[in-house]
Structure 1
């Protein structure tokens, strides 16, 4: 059924596959290593093409050495062990499909990704604009020189600051270790203020919060019939509001309809989701809420929106679902909701992926696909969110990947140049960077980046192929070398800058808090996503993100109102004390009870400015 093609000149594996096909009906333990194929031959004199039968010997050198020992028998030359050989071929075929050395024609996930790249002449008109946009030099030599100078500067600064770095210790074997820092905690005044604000927040039902924020922000205008025509609904606001409530809280159509007092049927809810809502429209609705949130005063005290944390959390789904896999860390079947959370707590983007995938491949795509006004330049993730290709691709897009690296002691620091030596930290460095490789393939690197930006290639497809075992792929080798440069600089900063480590820890803790908060919002159906269609599963995750963002928006407004009242009553409100608070509040939100709403209730306190005086600014 499958038409397979190599993405490089080596055809040994596919020829071995033809040998397996030719012997598919054989049952003997040992079979001869000869097989016949039909090939087209061109007559040099007449130019006519004729088909001839050619006998070939199967070449087993495609297989790793360990496999070659079991698929051949030295006592029987010219024979191969049939069953072992078949397993070897399909095992190697699976590996090469994953890393992109073999492609499946017509496939989406396993197509020849290099054929999707723009041609070099098509990239050239975009090169200057793209480099100016992300801050990169426009020639290979300047690109390498800039990186080399940055790397030398970072290493020299870390070496000079080593005597004053009380946290970093380099042992006799050259292994770095960091002393654990005890958190300073929060001041008594800050904790007192946070408690006072929490105690004064108005209690609101979840459906009331959605009703208020939906009427105010009108994000529902992004939804409508898939045909693009005007929605023929009696009240689009009400219909889309209830859809968001039903699916964002994971109640589903049937349970939500039961508890809404006959205001809407299960069929109306499920039909609206399938026929009026797409993943693209959900992304736009989330972006509307994020943009409104960013215009509020209070989130600016929590973060500038310049950094984002990315991580996933497992959701249970039915075991017989196509996307279901066993998650080794969580110990159960399901899928992973992968979120991108800004440093001011708001969720920018979410998607649903299988448990078995390498989460790092989704880290760049979320930043490229999110449509809000947020423009983060820093990406934080856990250890699974980093690799050489991810570091390299992030740099090409102008992002700074700053992950939490637990095993940094076992990682290799690359030396900027062979002759460079350092007084204090020289033991950290191993082999030097191959700058010639980066410069030689600079055009390939830029072609990949521009192709992704122009929509010709997905960063997910690229990073799936650029795996650690793609050593025969020239683009992989270039990305790996570029990633070594960037990761070495990040490691040097990580071991020398306590503030950076604190920021990374804060970001990873924040996304863990969001994961708990979003699951608290999606309380229905015992936390199981009941949909079997992958697209509907992702809609459920995005609806949950939309509802969580709306709750955060309303909570932020209520917190701002409470802070203004406290200050008008003579309480001291310092910016530093307000900065420790969070919109992930649960005590003031009622999830259960009567699901009632009023689309005509007066909207009060939906435009609140945080009034902090000049004396607070100075503080």
Structure 2
């Protein structure tokens, strides 16, 4: 039988023995689930094995994504460098990119301007520190308070009032239904094979799936808001018929149709 709790002491039979596993890296959101304690100052002698494993794997995934952790020889399975552009492409596109984002090309010049900008920012912060009400030092630590929100200008308030007055309130589900009627996206998520059974109402199931995972509320909360469907029905389409390739096709179709609106021209080239 799998044990629910895992002792982290060198001698589980001796309450005074030291812990052999350092768990201080566990974040606040995981702490109570893993240890059962409300505060980190409490003594911990055992951890919930399942929650601890999930916490470890989440941290590993995060560290791998940020590059702070690596797996030896993992490049033999998938080398991320193959997805990068070549040095020739980099050199050819660098001047245009720097011009668009307002940077100076060239190693020496870029480092010099960045250093000057950082020095200017530091000097500005130092000069404003005595009069800054949001920044203070307590017990040798720098404390930065939350800034007060800027009051919107009268023009912004006027535009907001006009929008609220002239635009009708639209239910999010109605928006998804209208998009589905317009683009017929559910056809991209049909059966993966001819042997798979068809669902009775693909449009409804597709709309609920988009609402569920698009808002990130999950199947359980979705069925609380929508009557007549079960949690398994909501999750089924995502689990059984959704693939990366199908999502890419649906996204490409949405982007293609979206670009036909003249409104996006107001945002510039992006």
TM-score (norm 2): 0.45
Q: Determine which structure has the larger strand proportion and give its number.
A: 1
RCO comparison, higher one (Cα < 8 Å, 6+): 1
Larger Rg: 1
